[in-house]
Amino acid sequence: EDPDSLVRKEGTARFQDRVQNEAEPLSDFLFRHLGEGLNLDSQEGRSRMAMLAKPLIAALPDGLYREMLLGRLAEITRLETATLRAAVLDTPPIPATRSQPPLAGEPPRDNSLGYPDLGYENADENPSRQGYGKKPRFEPRQRQSRQPSSSRIQTLGLPEQAVRLLLQDPKQAKLTSSAELQEMRLDSNSLLVELVRLLESSPDISTPALLGAWHDTELGDQLTRLAANEFLTPHVGVDMELKGIVNGLRLAAMEAELRECTDLETTIRLKQAIEALKRASISE
């Protein structure tokens, strides 16, 4: 139930009591959802946990809260905090003064997370078991320099902005449909269409599970980059912001159709629809 409804039903005092004494801390919620379905007693499960947490923690501003989350993740994954911090924040770890070569017959070490290669960080040759990947990827991943999130968000187009909002609140996918998005001439294989299609089939999926569903796929890489633009915490107004973006996509599609239209009757109908949509957007 949303906070506004609870306040109206139970009153402000009861709501504040719920927040102080009953609400699950965000960190507990995050790690509980990330660990769903994982065997954290195995190296594979702990490595997977670290990879799912990586884009979420990396997007946090530098400070005590991020350090606390890193410490908690280090406890869960049984890694040194410094090693985990280097992997999560895409900075190389401080080299040791002496490096010991692997023993004879020992597999090469994967230093990205402190584990041997378990098929998660560098498993680009394996298509996703969930079936969402469109093609296997063989190129090594290139590290991108981290820019301030505000500058990256400003460069996002409407579809990417919609994806970012759906990552914050997946239930808002009800504001549109994959069929409507394709009618707007969005590529059926685009990230937004695929994401809405997934949310139509799994409307109750959580954000961590959503990120994990496309792990190590081409679409998953796009999702991870968008997730890193802004830490995924619910905030007021996601529905209204997303509704405005969807209306913007509808308007752009109708204006594109109008430019190509040669029929007078259809031209008049499109102009009327465009004006009606603009008025509706202003009134909202």
From first to last of its 284 residues, the chain has per-residue pLDDT tens of 556 666 677 777 776 766 666 666 777 777 888 888 888 888 788 878 887 887 778 777 777 777 888 888 888 888 887 877 777 665 333 344 444 444 445 444 444 444 433 333 443 434 433 333 443 333 333 434 444 343 333 456 888 889 988 888 888 999 999 999 988 887 767 899 999 999 999 888 887 788 778 877 888 888 877 776 554 444 557 888 888 889 889 888 888 888 988 888 888 888 888 888 888 877 66
Query: Where do the domains of the chain lie?
Result: 3-88, 149-283
pTM for this model (two decimals): 0.47
CATH 1.20.50.20 fits 3-88, yes or no: yes
End-to-end CA distance of the chain: 23
Q: Locate 238 and state its tokens.
A: 């996601």
Fold for the domain defined by 149-283? DNAb Helicase; Chain A (1.10.860)
Chain segment 242-271, per-residue pLDDT in tens: 888 898 898 888 888 889 888 888 888 888
Annotate 141-204 with three-state secondary structure: CCCCCCCCHHHHHHCCCHHHHHHHHHHHCHHHHHHCCHHHHHHCCCCCCCHHHHHHHHHHHCCC
Residues 57, 35: Cα–Cα separation, whole Å: 15
Residues 284, 175: Cα–Cα separation, whole Å: 14
